[in-house]
Structure 1
Amino acid sequence: MHKVSIITPVYNSEQYIKKCIESVLAQSYEDWEMILCDDCSTDASVEIIRAFAEKDQRIKLITCEINGGAGVARNKAIEQAAGRFIAFLDCDDFWHKDKLKKQLRFLKDKDFAMVYSQYYIVEGEAEVPKYKICSPEKVCFKSMLRNDYVGFLTLIYDTEKLGKQYMSEIRRRQDWAYKLKLLKSGYCAYGIQEPLAFYRVGNSSLSSNKFKLIKYNFRVFHEELGNSWITSSFLMINFLCYYFYYKLVSKKKVNFKPSTS
């Protein structure tokens, strides 16, 4: 077996962090380390993590001296990562118990560099999802320019093929920029057609999210990828067309039944 380093940025997540960590502890694949980097939380997040770390040495807590955002926190955790494989799980999300086992088997059997899966949407404080997000079987750099098809909480990549990669420290959309960076290497990512993770969404306004999408996506096209304003504007328009279409066809309502196996 090869170790998986699970990267988790934490900020004021006392309400959800226990569920997040417990989903990792429940993994049927046991060769992992979970590196949680706290970004100056002001609630009880750190105390909760420390309680878990005292019981299981695979759980590791590091802290930021100043609040720098999720990109900074993830990079500090990636720097500490000792695993061959890198996976990501945010502090309010959680995994299916066979997530690592199924994805690593898929990655190794096919000799892929990156894999992902479908995932469920959990709304607010709910525990049971109402929707799942379907995903394509394959995503390469050009297709990722058109839309973010890969849920970050499902991504796993092999550092023996891609090296240990660090992400942009922009406040938003650094996860999408990171996936573009990995795919720009020439490798494609491949998806298991099964939901293996649970993504929690909040109640922020749709109009605000739309504005942030345009602002930060443009920054990725222009600043992170180095395109001109004209090219970035064209890519942004193209992205929005694909984004809203994909939202319509990828979100499926489900009658979720927890696994009893």
Structure 2
Amino acid sequence: MYYNHKVSIIMGAYNEEQSIGKCIESILKQTFSDFELIICDDCSTDNTRKVVEFYANKDNRIKLITNERNLKLAASLNKCLEYSKSEYIARMDADDICLEGRILKQVKFLDEHPEYEMVGGGARIFDGNNISELRLPKEYPSKNDVIYGPPFIHPTIMIRRDVLLNLQGYDTSDRTIRGQDRDLWFRFFSKNYSAYNIQEPLIIYGETKDDFKKRTFKTSIMYYKTAINGYKMLNVPIQKYIFALKPVVSNFMPNKIKKVIRARLIKNN
């Protein structure tokens, strides 16, 4: 296949006018330049589209797609994937910052390690005021780790495009309006693919009080259904199905405790 670029960075955006400019600038400052940035505006009601257009007019590597109606993140990412023409696909969220050298490190890793289909990494957490903890997922994640929670920080990953296409991209069912990343990890490991997490921060990851507010009882049921679906896919022993209830139980916990538990789970998985 002919590739226009080495990497396609795909991003869905909805009402991100306050953060997407800094996000784009962090990508344009990457030491690796052979990429395209594909952004799908999911019917934002603020100035998100205008901000993206401003940068797209300055750099032709930036491609803007606009949904005719709000489709949510999974469908928006799939549209970006359709437009991509690169060997590798990298994820990025509009409220995160790409650390300098991130893309180069991941391209180098995948080029030098054909035995791996995907590479992720760590993140520094930004709570809206300060950059605090360093979150590092397990270096060598496996199908056993996804049983207990997401073994990757979604916006850090870079995956071979043919692998993501083989997985048919992101699931767009009602249960993956939230948690579409973990659904992908279940399907990834069900195909016996291998992945690695670089043991250093690749992004500054935005995680504010508003993000915790989005984790409602309704979304916890989505996570539960995705876990059950994934357990069946991986033939997980029935006694471990109890771990599917973790998001439902955590829904009743204070946000401060949720944050601590989530950080420890990602670190220990």
Shorter-chain-normalised TM-score: which range? 0.7 to 0.9
Deviations 1:43-99 (Å, cap 9, x if unpaired)? Answer: 000011011111111100001111111111111111111111011101111111100
Instruction: Letter of the 2:91 partner, please give it.
Output: F
C-alpha distance in 1 between matches for 2:203 and 2:213 = 27
Does the CA contact (< 8 Å) of 2:152 and 2:266 recur in 1?
no
Match of 2:122 in 1: 118
In structure 2, the partner of 1:173 is 179
CA distance in 1, matches of 2:153, 2:123: 7
Query: What residue number does 2:75 align with?
Result: 72
**Does structure 1 residue 187 correspond to structure 2 residue 193?**
yes
In the superposition, the TM-score normalised over structure 2's length comes to 0.82
CA distance in 2: counterparts of 1:43 and 1:163, whole angstroms: 32
Equivalent of 1:145 in 123, 144, 147: 147
Q: Give the aligned partner of residue 217 of structure 1.
A: 223
1:236 aligned to 244, 266, 269, which one? 244
Matched with 1:258 is: none
How far apart are the structure 2 equivalents of 1:200 and 1:87?
18
Q: Alignment partner of 2:18: what SS?
A: coil
State the Cα deviation string for residues 7-42 of structure 1 (Å, max 9, x = none). Answer: 100100000000110011001111101100001001
Q: What is the count of residue pairs matched by the alignment?
A: 248
Decide whether the 8 Å contact of 1:120 with 1:197 is kept in 2. yes
Q: Which amino acid aligns with 1:157?
A: I
Q: Secondary structure at the match of 1:141?
A: coil
Report the CA distance shift for 1:162/1:173 in structure 2 as closer, same or farther (over 3 A). closer
Unaligned runs of 5+ in 2: 250-257
2-structure distance, mates of 1:92, 1:60:
18
Deviations 1:146-171 (A, max 9, x none): 21121011101112455454101231
Runs of 4+ in 1 over 2 A off after TM superposition: 159-165, 204-214, 221-228, 230-235, 237-241, 243-251
What is the Cα deviation at residue 105 of structure 1?
1.1
Moved more, 211-220 or 26-35: 211-220
Q: Secondary structure of the residue that 1:118 maps to in structure 2? A: strand
Q: Which runs of 5+ in 1 are unaligned?
A: 252-261
- RMSD over equivalenced CA pairs, Å: 2.9
